């Protein structure tokens, strides 16, 4: 097949991939993984998150990681910031892009953030205002876009409302998180149909987990709908501490190979991505 255009892979392994590993991974190892990924052709890497160490102990070294990485020209280093305290720390650490997150269901919102969806959005408003005022790019995440572990099937209209709210806060891009990996291509397509009534595909990204082995099928559905940015985690790292049964994110190496076979350009060096995948799997192994 001839090349059909460019698809950006947004690497989330160092943050979303490692955040719930039980073994605390040394900052030096996280830095080494990010530095290797920085040489692969990726344009954006989600490096860490500035969240409460009480809730996510694995990310307690966020400032150390950001201070230790070797920043390469052309690579933006993004961080997750759930509140103003996190944003202030991220700004001080030199983040290029900050991400905020909301859920498409009330059950997940209360389990994840101990607040209703509307309360979460109100809490995020000052973060968004500060980021935009400081000239940082603002990314949004919507969780559980097809299925919720607490509320069951997610209505597509609920996802569309969450996306619209995040765009209204000033997000340049909203990533649609199929958090459980249960979403079928049919469910993903129905969700996207609703969301695309609120936003063009150019401001959307797909974030698929591979629990049910359908992540690449769901990528294809999103591609057909015009989406050209996809989140993935090198080595298939990840899951969600608030989503029982959620397995790893779609592996970056699998996504890159799949896209290339379908004629899409990603700009990635597959050999470096393979080395990073091996490193990532080593990090998640039990300590000797």
Q: Is 80 exceeded by the pLDDT of residue 75? A: yes
Mean pLDDT on 71-93: 97
CATH number of 5-284: 3.20.20.70, 3.30.70.1890, 2.60.40.10, 3.40.1390.40? 3.20.20.70
- Residue 157 phi, psi dihedral angles, 5° rounding: -65, -30
Terminal alpha carbon distance of the chain = 46
Q: Summarize pLDDT for 28-55 with one digit per residue, the tens.
A: 999 999 999 999 999 999 999 999 999 8
**Confidence tier at 3 by pLDDT (50, 70, 90):** very low
Predicted model pTM = 0.95
Query: Can you list the alpha helix ranges (DSSP code H) found in 210-269?
Result: 215-224, 252-261
pLDDT for the residue numbered 247: 60
pLDDT at 274: 97
Share of the chain above pLDDT 70, in %: 94
Domain regions of the chain by residue span = 5-284
Return phi, psi of residue 240, to 5°. Answer: -145, 125
Show Cβ contacts of residue 286 under 8 Å, excluding neighbours closer than 6 positions.
23
Q: Specify whether the CB–CB gap between 55 and 83 falls below 8 A.
A: no
State whether residue 95 is helix, strand or coil: coil
Asked whether residue 246 carries a pLDDT value surpassing 60, the answer given is no
173-223: pLDDT as tens digits = 999 999 999 999 999 999 999 999 999 999 999 999 998 899 999 999 999
- Which pLDDT value is given to residue 244? 52
DSSP helix, strand, coil percent of the chain (3-state; round to 5): 45, 20, 35
Percent of the chain with pLDDT over 90: 87
Average pLDDT of the chain is: 94
Categorize the per-residue pLDDT at 21 as very low, low, confident or very high, splitting at 50, 70 and 90: confident
Of 43, 63, 59, residue with least CA distance to 51: 59
Catalytic residue, chosen from 240, 251, 273, 280, is 240
Are the C-beta atoms of 256 and 268 separated by less than 8 Å? yes
Q: 241: pLDDT confidence band, cut at 50, 70 and 90?
A: very low
pLDDT over 60 at 2, yes or no: no
- Per-residue pLDDT averaged across 19-24, rounded? 86
Q: With left for phi above 0 and alpha for psi between -120 and 50, is residue 144 left, alpha or beta?
A: left
Determine the average pLDDT of the residues in 155-182.
Answer: 97
Give dist(CA 184, CA 276) in Å, integer: 29
pLDDT for res 286: 60
Q: Per-residue pLDDT averaged across 248-253, rounded? A: 92
Report the pLDDT value the prediction gives residue 239, as an integer from 0 to 100: 57
Q: Where are the alpha helices (DSSP H) in 46-184?
A: 62-68, 84-92, 106-113, 117-133, 156-169
Reported confidence tier of residue 4, pLDDT bands at 50, 70, 90: low
Comparison of pLDDT for 86 and 2, the residue scoring more: 86
Residue 171 annotated as catalytic: no
Which pLDDT score, from 0 to 100, does residue 288 have? 45
């Amino acid at each position: 097949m001839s090349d059909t255009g460019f698809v950006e892979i947004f690497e989330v392994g160092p943050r979303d991939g490692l955040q719930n590993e039980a073994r605390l991974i040394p900052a030096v190892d996280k830095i080494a993984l990010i530095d290797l990924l920085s040489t692969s052709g990726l344009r954006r890497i989600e490096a860490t998150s500035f969240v409460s160490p009480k809730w996510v102990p694995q990310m307690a070294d966020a400032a150390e990681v950001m201070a230790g990485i070797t920043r390469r020209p052309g690579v933006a280093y993004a961080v997750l910031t759930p509140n103003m305290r996190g944003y202030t720390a991220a700004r001080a650490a030199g983040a290029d892009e900050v991400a905020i997150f909301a859920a498409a269901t009330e059950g997940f919102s209360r389990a994840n953030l101990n607040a209703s969806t509307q309360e979460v959005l109100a809490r995020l408003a000052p973060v968004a205002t500060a980021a935009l005022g400081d000239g940082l790019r603002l990314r949004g995440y919507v969780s559980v876009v097809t299925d919720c572990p607490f509320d069951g099937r997610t209505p597509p209209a609920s996802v569309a409302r969450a996306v619209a709210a995040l765009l209204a806060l000033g997000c340049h891009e909203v990533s649609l998180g199929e958090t459980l990996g249960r979403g079928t291509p049919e469910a993903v397509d129905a969700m996207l149909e609703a969301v695309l009534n609120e936003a063009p595909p150019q401001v959307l990204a797909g974030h698929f987990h591979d629990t049910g082995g359908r992540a690449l099928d769901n990528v294809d559905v999103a591609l057909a709908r015009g989406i050209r940015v996809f989140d993935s985690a090198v080595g298939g790292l990840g899951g969600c501490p608030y989503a029982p049964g959620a397995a790893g994110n779609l592996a970056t190496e699998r996504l890159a190979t799949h896209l290339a076979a379908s004629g899409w350009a990603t700009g990635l060096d597959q050999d470096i991505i393979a080395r990073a995948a091996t490193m990532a799997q080593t990090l998640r192994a039990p300590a000797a």
